[in-house]
Chain A
Amino acid sequence: MSRKTFWTISKVIFFILSLTPFLLLLYGVITDQLGANPIETLHFSLGDWALRFLCLGLAITPLKKITAIKELIRFRRMTGLFAFFYASLHFLVYIGLDLSFSLEQFIDEVPKSPYIIVGLFTYSLLIPLALTSTKGMQKRLGRQWQQLHKLVYLAAISAVVHYLWLVKLDLTEPLIYAALVFLLLGFRVIEPVFRKKYRAN
């Protein structure tokens, strides 16, 4: 197998794997197996996957640098788009199922929930990133593209804040994500320093 075919097949497998949580949830909806509170199950699960893909997307550059496998970068766009896909469904479930598309409920509930405001803010950060994710946009924007896509760092932080804020008492899970995001962003601060030292030596 040529190197090119290997990576193409890997991408296809990665796509199928990434879509699996969605298919399982869809199956759960159709067969009524999402428990006593199916909207909550859907909503939380989609949110979890959005955050997982966001973290995975942030892990690609560090992994590429550590392992020196440059092809890893080819997975970045798809990972980011899956984060956006799950975040969009998470948002849609809230607006469409939880609030039944009711503006009245939206106006009543959102101002009372700081964590929802943070969630909406996070989602609004992801929209321009998804819209400019194409190769064409990347070329057209050039340097600005790099700058714009740094918004993902802020999105990751606010996604974790959104999660931390909604939990009633047990902070274990959101704190795991907080630690992960801290590490992934920390790498980006520390790595250039190390690289400089390495070069100087």
Chain B
Amino acid sequence: MIIKTLSEIKSSEITKETHFKNRRKLIKAAAASTAGLLLPDISQAAKAYINVPIGKYSATLGVTDFEDAANYTNYYEFTTNKTDSTVLARGLKTTPWSVTIEGEAEKTGTFQLEDILKNNLLEERIYRFRCVEAWSMVVPWIGFSLGKMLKQFKPTSKAKYVEFTTLYDPDIMIGQRSKVLHWPYVEGLRMDEAMHPLAFMATGMYDDILPNQNGAPLRLVVPWKYGFKSIKAIVKIRFTEKMPLTAWNRSAPNEYGFYANVNPNVSHPRWSQSRERILGASIFTPKRQTEIFNGYGAHVAKLYAGMNLSKSI
């Protein structure tokens, strides 16, 4: 299904993207042939999720190059540098992995990730991803519906919010040794946001398991919110009655709110949010206009009916 609000995306935009990809491939091919060796393409065979069906809400958009999506990540647990995170995150051991469920739910405790995966059907969702730093990409995620997963733990009527926590391991996550943020990283959603069918838990991307720097083995994807809401390497999920104190909100409350919905009309206190730079685009491509709720307004705007979006940032 194509999301209606995304129909505004000009076909030219997509064509251009393909053009870039081809250009990159041409350059790579040229480089390879100059070196006199053409390595066999073994990447396809080794991929973990090649037959995952495309799920609802996936937009037919020009997908960002894997290289770009995988080597431009904000992962402050390792570093504030977006490319160094690729190498630094390699040391993270993602198996075995367990997730602790706490708080206002009937079924709490610690669960192995593989057991969680058994109970949730994998699908692919091609989502747009918009960072608060005004860049964006389109990523084919592999994972499952967050809401369906949460329901399995039978949250009680007291569960008004759900809080997610990233692994805390400063021996490996060396960025946690400095105090740029309060560790461990915490994010949260209101229960109705978490139950929305667009909210997604990813274990993979681009037909394969998540690269460590992209949040392996389990990360959140909330496509209508700024990227920092999509917390990585989740080890704990807690159902709460009170609004969780999230990491960025805690460090700079006037700049980063709890909701963090993508909104071109509400500027960050230090920069405009009206446009976004498309990752992988050539240097002569103008920025694209940012859409409210990142283009998912038709689906999620009703969650915020009656709320002042310039106050509840």
Q: Is B272 an interface residue (CB 8 A)?
A: yes
- A7 CB to nearest chain B CB (Å): 39
Interface contact A169-B180, CB-CB below 8 Å: yes
- Nearest-neighbour CB distance to chain B for A37, whole angstroms, equals 6
Interface membership of A168, Cβ < 8 A: yes
Are B68 and A29 in contact (CB-based, < 8 A)? no
* B37-91 at interface with A (beta carbon < 8 Å): 64-65, 67-69, 71-72, 76, 80, 82-83
In the complex, B283 has a CB within 8 A of chain A: yes
For residue A115, CB closer than 8 A to chain B, the reply is yes
Note all chain A residues with C-beta closer than 8 A to B286: 100, 102
Report the Cα distance A98→B281, complex, angstroms.
12
Q: Which residues 155-176 of A have a CB within 8 angstroms of B?
A: 165-166, 168-170
Query: Could you tell me if A115 and B68 are in contact, using CB atoms closer than 8 angstroms?
Result: no
Instruction: Decide if A36 touches B279 in the complex (CB within 8 Å).
Output: yes
Q: Is B119 an interface residue (CB 8 A)?
A: no
Select one of A34, A97, A109 contacting B271, CB under 8 A.
A109
A185 touches B (CB below 8 Å) = no
Please encode chain B, from 269 to 291, with 1 for each CB lying within 8 Å of some chain A CB and 0 for all others: 01110110101101110110000
State whether the Cβ of B133 lies closer than 8 Å to any Cβ in chain A.
yes
A170 touches B80 (CB 8 A): yes
> In this complex, what residue of B is CB-closest to A169?
B180
A162 to chain B, nearest CB (A): 12
Within 8 A of A (CB), among B154-186: 178, 180-181
Picked from B82, B270, B275, the residue with its CB within 8 Å of the CB of A165 is B270
| Interface of A toward B, CB cutoff 8 Å | 29, 31-32, 34-40, 42, 97-98, 100, 102, 105, 108-109, 112-115, 165-166, 168-170
| Interface residue ranges, B against A (CB under 8 Å) | 23-24, 27, 64-65, 67-69, 71-72, 76, 80, 82-83, 133, 135, 137, 178, 180-181, 251-252, 267-268, 270-272, 274-275, 277, 279-280, 282-284, 286-287
Q: Which residues of B contact A168 (CB under 8 A)?
A: 80, 133
* Inter-subunit contact B267/A35 (CB<8 Å): no
Complex A-B: 18 CB contacts under 8 Å: A31-B27, A34-B283, A35-B71, A35-B72, A35-B83, A36-B68, A36-B71, A36-B82, A36-B137, A42-B283, A97-B283, A112-B268, A112-B270, A113-B270, A115-B270, A169-B181, A170-B178, A170-B180
CB distance from A95 to the nearest CB of B (A): 13
Given contacts A112-B271, A169-B180, 16 further A-B contacts (CB under 8 A): A34-B283, A36-B65, A36-B67, A36-B68, A36-B71, A36-B279, A37-B72, A37-B279, A38-B283, A97-B283, A100-B286, A102-B286, A108-B272, A109-B272, A113-B270, A165-B270
Hey, which chain A residues are within 8 Å of B267, CB to CB?
112
In the complex, which of the residues A40, A105, A114 contacts B277, with contact meaning CB atoms closer than 8 Å?
A: A40
Q: Which residues of B contact A97 (CB under 8 A)?
A: 283-284
Q: Shortest beta-carbon distance, A39 to chain B, in Å?
A: 5
> SS class of chain B's interface: helix, strand, loop or mixed?
loop
B174 CB to nearest chain A CB (Å): 13
Residues of chain B within 8 A (CB-CB) of A37 are 72, 135, 277, 279
- Return B299 CB to nearest CB of chain A, in Å: 27
Chain A contacts of B68 at CB under 8 A?
A: 35-36
- Kindly state the separation between the CA atoms of A39 and B133 in the bound complex, as whole angstroms: 14
Q: How far is the CA of A31 from the CA of B135 in the complex (A)?
A: 22
Say yes or no: A112 contacts B181, CB within 8 Å.
no
**Which 8 A-B pairs rank lowest in CB-CB distance, beginning with the nearest?**
A36-B68, A36-B72, A100-B286, A170-B80, A36-B279, A109-B272, A112-B272, A112-B267
Report the Cα distance A165→B271, complex, angstroms: 11
A113 and B271 in contact, given A32-B27, A37-B277, A169-B251 (Cβ under 8 angstroms): yes
Chain A residue at smallest Cβ distance from B27? A32
Instruction: Given A40-B277, A169-B181, A170-B180, answer yes or no on A32-B270 (Cβ-Cβ < 8 Å).
Output: no
